[in-house]
Structure 1
């Protein structure tokens, strides 16, 4: 199986790669079109801004390839956000528009931003991504921007207000948390994704 961590120039590529490697799978970090076209699974991680990530995807002619990809793809944190329609972080950025949902600053009320640390995730569909994971399990977050709860939401989280912790549309999955930093629950979720 060809598993690719898509190289968006972000900082957490290696940690995602090693989390998959520890599960016993070979994985490649790449932005090469041919490697991506021949992959069976893509992970789209990200730490940074939507503008820089989209610029990198555009520079490497990957936008249309990602939008027409037919195998499972998992966006992690920023990777999930750039699957949305428009992001309003620092500058307004047009994203991949796989999910026709805008990404906005989390309304955290009196809670400090960024949202850093462990929080409970409530999934409310029998989605393959959460197979074997207990409801209200803990996952690790590091973010200030979110997709609101919407028609694609398969799990939510509360931090001042509810937001989408995970979304799915067809073969596209996204998680706002970092499974590669979420211990056994994160490992199980990554394994579930790879085995789809």
Structure 2
């Protein structure tokens, strides 16, 4: 059963709709003791990373999240919260991954925000089991997580190469929205729910 961290900065409806379609049970986490009820945790997120981090800190759940040993998945801004720092709001994040979240450079002559479907290049990882390399996923973001081969499990090229997905131990993050990415995104969510 998946617990969704409910801190007021997530697009909960599209995520819960996808989980319901897949027959994956879920519930909302509002307090630290509620983490125990779930085998897997999702941190959703849309909007401003600095504001999202401030909301998450207000919940008092940060230390509990950082200490988790069960599978955790951050989606979009939820992924950025796992990094060390975001240029969006010049904010310190949870620092689970020693990575930077950066603003796309307008000098790259790319459309910002990055919005729409993009191919991703995946590595052999349980999160992407059954998902073909170069499959398209749906992105909506103006900030990206720097590419680092140590943590990168999928990358995307949008004017520059950056991490589409990362992993460190039991923590995973995806920059795209699996809940809006059709069959491939649903397969990823199912794969996550099956991680040990």
Give, in angstroms, the shift of residue 60 of structure 1.
1.3
Alignment of 1:156-195 (within 5 A): 156-195=155-194
Gapped runs of 5+ residues in structure 1?
none
Alignment of 1:73-88 (within 5 A): 73-88=72-87
Conserved? CA contact 1:13–1:29, under 8 Å: no
Runs (4 or more) in structure 1 with deviation over 6 Å come to: none
Give, in angstroms, the shift of residue 59 of structure 1.
1.2
Aligned-pair Cα RMSD in Å: 1.1
- Equivalenced residue count is 193
Conserved? CA contact 1:17–1:28, under 8 Å: no
Give, in angstroms, the shift of residue 10 of structure 1.
2.0
Give, in angstroms, the shift of residue 8 of structure 1.
2.2
| Equivalent of residue 131 in structure 1, options 119, 129, 132 | 129
The 2-side partners of 1:42 and 1:162 are apart by 28
TM-score when normalising by structure 2: 0.95
Deviations 1:103-150 (A, max 9, x none): 101236111100000000101x21000000100000000001111110
Partner of 1:21: 20
Partner of 2:4: 5
Partner of 1:104: 102
Partner of 2:63: 64
TM-score when normalising by structure 1: 0.95
Conserved? CA contact 1:107–1:161, under 8 Å: no
Give, in angstroms, the shift of residue 11 of structure 1.
4.5
